[in-house]
Amino acid sequence: MEDDSPVEAVSTPNTPRNLAAWKISIPYVDFFEDPSSERKDKKERIPVFCIDVERNDRRAVGHEPEHWSVYRRYLEFYVLESKLTEFHGTFPDAQLPSKRIIGPKNYEFLKSKREEFQEYLQKLLQHPELSNSQLLADFLSPNGGETQFLDKILPDVNLGKIIKSVPGKLMKEKGQHLEPFIMNFINSCESPKPKPCKPELTILSPTSENNKKLFNDLFKNNANRAENTERKQNKNYFMEMMTVEGVYDYLMYVGRVVFQVPDWLHHLLMGTRILFKNTLEMYTDYYIHCKLEQLFQEHRLVSLITLLRDAVFRENTEPRSLQDKQKRAKQTFDEMMNYIPDVIVKCIGEEAKYESIRLLFDGLQQPVLNKQLTYVLLDIVIQELFPELNKVQKEVTSMTSWM
């Protein structure tokens, strides 16, 4: 473990140490001759941080403030951090920046990191658990721990030296063991040969053979046969025509197809269908029944018949101009847009609302389709007014099927 005894290099042995009273700064980056350089005639000059230290914790015993400077390498800071983490744990407010593994650690790089490293040391001195740390004191002492912060430093990865040494090694080898290398290289580039497989015998069933003759891509279902289960196994159920029954199903269909409701809302309506379907349909029947009773009052029927007569039999009205038609169409579209409640708009979005109303509006602007729709509705009204016509039609249909 770390020795927290008050022994240090720049003070008397029995003097208590309080690192919180020390002041440090890194004013500049300097160059330092590397004593571990391989070439003795010309030592390599490496950039280092110059740390100015001012000790003020011995004024109580009559000592003046002491000043000195310490030179530390870039990687020595990370050795200090790893050792402090080993003995004291991590300090979240005092963290060094990410260490550069590959790349030059030159003068400009250290100069850009000077303020961050200075702030790191200043924050370490403010931690109470490090006020008597021997490790931190040795790091800030000029003669303390010359080697303990250099033991864990790995040599820098010098890509230039590695690349320069490759041609020399190739010249020494002079093509030895080149043939096995070429063979392995060719084998690695070629695609592997397919493994021989066992012969298989496929026997088609009579049904499959007959279906191949009866169902053809050219003639389609020429025999007019019903598709069997084998041909229906890949059916797209989302495109299946489904019958809807009741107001609840009608609303779900219109919401899904016309208004493009999101999936989550469709799933929610589908999940609550078993709970609210009958209730909604009973309420709808009651609401329509009340409205029809109000509509079938005598004074309202007179007004409706008058409007129908004027619309069908009055021929002296002037035809509307194109401008009037466009104005009326715009007014109708705006009223359709305002008819949708805000709650539904929040669920489907403004864009889906506009596209849905535009689809409904354009669908009602087709004269031929409107005429066909009028005939269908008129047929339904006549069957409701004269139910005996429906009975006659059923009798005729039954006699035709018997013959």
Give tens-digit pLDDT for 268-306. 988 998 889 999 999 999 999 999 888 888 888 888 888
How many Cα atoms are found within 13 Å in the side-chain-facing hemisphere of 102?
Answer: 2
pLDDT(53) > 50: yes
Over residues 146-192, the pLDDT tens digits come to: 567 775 554 554 555 555 555 555 555 555 567 777 887 777 777 66
Q: How many domains does the chain have?
A: 2
pLDDT band at 51 (very low <50, low <70, confident <90, very high): very high
CA distance linking residue 226 with residue 176, whole number of Å = 75
What confidence score (pLDDT) does residue 283 get? Answer: 93
pLDDT in tens, 227-261: 554 444 444 444 556 677 888 888 888 888 888 88
> At 32, is the secondary structure helix, strand, or coil?
strand
Residue 148 tokens, joined: 């303990």
Q: Which amino acid is at 264?
A: W
Looking at residue 53, its amino acid is V
Chain-wide mean pLDDT for the chain?
A: 76
Q: What is the DSSP string of 144-200?
A: S-TTTTTTTPPPP--HHHHHHHHHHHHHHHTTTTHHHHHHHHHHHHSPPPPPP----
In a domain, 187, yes or no: no
pLDDT one-digit tens code per residue, 301-320: 888 888 888 877 776 667 77
**Crossing angle of the two packed helices 273-295 and 247-257, in degrees rounded to 10:** 100
The predicted model scores a pTM of: 0.37
Q: How far apart are CA 296 and CA 305, in angstroms?
A: 11
Residue 125 is part of a domain; what is its CATH number? 3.30.1520.10
Nearest to 242 by CA among 233, 253, 231, 232: 253
Over range 36-65, report the average pLDDT.
77
Domain end residue (candidates: 143, 159, 176): 176
Q: Answer yes or no: is 113 within a domain.
A: yes
What single-letter DSSP state applies at residue 10? S
Tokens of residue 74, six digits: 């870039």
pLDDT-derived band at 20, boundaries 50, 70, 90: confident
Instruction: Give residue 379's domain range.
Output: 368-403
- What pLDDT is attached to residue 400? 54
Rounded Cα gap, residues 141 and 143, in angstroms: 6
Domain boundary pick from 117, 144, 176 = 176
Q: How far is it, in rounded angstroms, from Cα 258 to Cα 363?
A: 11
For residue 265, what pLDDT is reported?
A: 86
**Is residue 385 one of the residues assigned to a domain?**
yes
Is 37 domain-assigned?
yes
Question: Does any domain span residue 137?
Answer: yes
Residue 139 within any structural domain of the chain: yes
Q: How far is the C-alpha of 117 from the C-alpha of 149, rounded, in Å?
A: 16
Tell me the sheet residues that pair with 50. Answer: 28, 71
Given this model, what pLDDT does residue 163 score? 55
Which of 176, 204, 236 is the endpoint of a domain?
176
For tokens 């011995």, the residue is 58
Q: 326: helix, coil or strand? A: helix
> Does the residue 93 lie in any domain?
yes
User: Does any domain span residue 181?
Assistant: no
